[in-house]
């Protein structure tokens, strides 16, 4: 429900306008002069302000100037029974949304209010979108450790070329960020980078997503659709989690990479595309090839350059820099002062086992900023960080590395446990 503030020194005018607007389902507040209006605006937020010009203490034109500073995004509709065209023009120049003469025509008043509301909504939406765009801008790669410097060097060498890149590494390490930097430093940076999460798209829809489809090619194809390859033409196509792509889709991607041509689902026309493909996966694709889940020829097409993104556990020296970076970024998003982390807190965080890598570290940093004091202490870490992120033994890591998957490790543990029970029974 929109909130309207009526500012007028005449009680009868305020009462009449209130009755009309409340009948139209508006929430209405009143101020009898400019001073009261400014006081209310310091405490409340309104969608539209109806402001009289001739008032005691402070006239409407002066209030309008104050509002441009105090509530610049709130539309102000000026109302007056004594003004002329020059006054109306002056009011609009000073930022008024519109000008209505007294007594106001009911239909015009309601239309003006709806238009003012639309403007207010657009301003809010624009701010939200700008915030999203600013957050989606490419972030810097934080870190000075040897593994991360190696990745930066690889990007500098590879980005200016059109070579395909396969980015490998565990979940949460920043593979997407590496892909975006490759695009940003390439000659294609003026064109789009189009991302496809192969794990999030059902296998029966992946071909339509990548190559598009013609109208009527299947039941729900009510109109022609452009695929991601065409969207990324002249730019970069980022195939995230490519290890989860179906074998049939892999075959078509391979053909597209070989011939630089695609065919939409249900179509027979070949479409030429000029796309640089960057792929990423958290899987061991060589193992996937051995087990028949990934095409070897596609692997060799994609892996012209292999960029191995290190796990956070392999670059613990970067954790202080990452924490400071996330702290500044998160506090800026929340509009609060940047919080600092004590040496004890940072040392404790460096010792944890970061199975979720950079993504987990950011979440933990945000949690500590929200729940901790101005300075995040060791006690805050002990209280608010989940024990799941606990130091792990080197022996357990070596043991786990001996097995292809969790099931084989569980089988090994079960056998050892049964053997132990037999010994105890004897």
What are the tens digits of pLDDT across the range 148-178? 999 999 999 999 999 999 999 999 999 999 9
Averaged pLDDT of the chain: 85
Instruction: Look up residue 81 and give its DSSP letter.
Output: S
277, with CB counted inside 10 A (0-12, 13-18, 19+), is buried
Please give the average per-residue pLDDT across 202-231, as a whole number.
85
Q: How confident is the model at residue 70 (pLDDT cuts 50, 70, 90)?
A: confident
Nearest 5°: the CA angle 308, 312, 315 is: 85
Please give the average per-residue pLDDT across 394-423, as a whole number.
54
- Of the chain, the percentage scoring pLDDT greater than 90 comes to 47
Quick one: pLDDT at residue 175? Answer: 95
More reliable by pLDDT, 308 or 85: 308
Quick one: pLDDT at residue 410? Answer: 59
Ordered DSSP codes for 302-322: HTTEEEEPPPGGG-GGGHHHH
Quick one: pLDDT at residue 406? Answer: 52
Q: How confident is the model at residue 100 (pLDDT cuts 50, 70, 90)?
A: confident
Instruction: Look up residue 172 and give its DSSP letter.
Output: T
Long-range contacts of 81-90 (CB under 8 A, 24+ apart): 81/54, 82/53, 82/54, 83/53, 87/53, 90/61
Quick one: pLDDT at residue 202? Answer: 83
Closest by CA position to 338, among listed 350, 326, 321: 326
Give the position of tokens 């889940």: 293
399-426 burial by CB neighbour count: b if 16+ within 10 A, else e? eeeeeeeeeeeeeeeeeeeeeeeeeeee
Please give the average per-residue pLDDT across 130-143, as a whole number.
66
Q: How confident is the model at residue 322 (pLDDT cuts 50, 70, 90)?
A: very high
Please give the average per-residue pLDDT across 306-325, as a whole number.
95
Among 31-35, 93-97, 126-130, 203-207, which range has the highest average pLDDT?
31-35
Q: 134 pLDDT exceeds 50? A: no
Q: 183 pLDDT exceeds 60? A: yes
Quick one: pLDDT at residue 61? Answer: 87
Please give the average per-residue pLDDT across 182-198, as a whole number.
93
Q: 377 pLDDT exceeds 90? A: yes
Please give the average per-residue pLDDT across 85-93, as a whole number.
79
Q: 282 pLDDT exceeds 90? A: yes
Please give the average per-residue pLDDT across 257-261, as a whole number.
92
Q: 393 pLDDT exceeds 70? A: no
Q: How confident is the model at residue 408 (pLDDT cuts 50, 70, 90)?
A: low
Ordered DSSP codes for 220-274: T--S-EE-HHHHTTTSEEEEETGGGS-HHHHHHHHHHHHHSEEE-BT---EEE--
Please give the average per-residue pLDDT across 29-38, as a whole number.
89
Question: CA 165, CA 278: separation in Å to the nearest integer?
Answer: 5
Tokens read off for 414? 């079960």
Quick one: pLDDT at residue 83? Answer: 61
Q: How confident is the model at residue 119 (pLDDT cuts 50, 70, 90)?
A: confident
Q: 395 pLDDT exceeds 50? A: no
Q: 132 pLDDT exceeds 60? A: no
Q: How confident is the model at residue 182 (pLDDT cuts 50, 70, 90)?
A: very high
Quick one: pLDDT at residue 426? Answer: 45
251-273 burial by CB neighbour count: b if 16+ within 10 A, else e? ebbbebeeeeebbbbebeeebeb
Q: How confident is the model at residue 285 (pLDDT cuts 50, 70, 90)?
A: very high
Quick one: pLDDT at residue 121? Answer: 77
Please give the average per-residue pLDDT across 194-204, as a whole number.
87
Quick one: pLDDT at residue 142? Answer: 93
Pair 310, 148: CB distance under 8 Å = yes
Please give the average per-residue pLDDT across 45-60, as a whole number.
86
């Amino acid at each position: 429900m929109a909130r309207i503030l009526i500012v007028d020194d005449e009680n009868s005018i305020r009462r009449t306008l209130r009755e009309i607007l409340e009948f139209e389902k508006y929430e209405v507040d009143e101020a009898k002069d400019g001073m009261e209006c400014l006081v209310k605006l310091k405490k409340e937020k309104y969608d539209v302000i109806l402001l009289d010009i001739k008032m005691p203490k402070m006239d409407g034109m002066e209030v309008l100037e104050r509002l441009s500073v105090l509530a610049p995004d709130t539309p102000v509709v000026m109302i007056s029974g004594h003004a002329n065209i020059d006054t109306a023009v002056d009011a609009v120049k000073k930022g008024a949304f519109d000008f209505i003469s007294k007594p106001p025509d009911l239909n015009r008043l309601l239309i003006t209010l709806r238009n003012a509301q639309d403007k207010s909504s657009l301003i809010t939406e624009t701010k939200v979108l700008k915030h999203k765009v600013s957050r989606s801008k490419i972030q810097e790669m934080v870190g000075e450790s040897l593994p991360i410097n190696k990745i930066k060097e690889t990007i500098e060498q590879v980005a200016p070329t059109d070579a395909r890149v396969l980015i490998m590494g565990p979940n949460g390490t920043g593979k997407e960020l590496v892909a975006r930097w490759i695009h940003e430093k390439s000659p294609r940076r003026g064109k789009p980078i189009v991302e496809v999460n192969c794990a999030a798209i059902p296998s029966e829809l992946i071909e339509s997503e990548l190559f598009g489809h013609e109208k009527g090619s299947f039941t729900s194809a009510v109109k022609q659709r452009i695929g991601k390859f065409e969207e990324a033409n002249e730019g970069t196509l980022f195939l995230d989690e490519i290890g989860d792509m179906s074998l049939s889709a892999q075959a078509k991607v391979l053909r597209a990479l070989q011939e630089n041509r695609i065919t939409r689902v249900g179509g027979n026309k070949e479409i030429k595309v000029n796309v640089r493909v960057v792929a990423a996966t958290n899987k061991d694709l060589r193992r996937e090839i051995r087990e028949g889940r990934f095409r070897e020829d596609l692997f060799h097409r994609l892996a012209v350059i292999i960029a191995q993104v290190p796990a956070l556990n392999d670059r613990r020296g970067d954790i202080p820099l990452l924490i400071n970076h996330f702290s500044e970024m998160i506090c800026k998003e929340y509009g609060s002062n940047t919080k600092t982390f004590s040496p004890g807190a940072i040392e404790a965080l460096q010792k944890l086992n970061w199975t979720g890598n950079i993504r987990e570290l950011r979440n933990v940093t945000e949690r500590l900023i929200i729940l901790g004091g101005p300075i995040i202490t060791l006690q805050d870490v002990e209280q608010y960080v989940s024990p799941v992120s606990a130091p792990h033994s080197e022996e357990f890591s070596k043991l786990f590395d001996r097995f292809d998957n969790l099931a084989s490790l569980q089988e090994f543990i079960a056998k050892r446990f049964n053997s132990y029970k037999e010994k105890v029974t004897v």
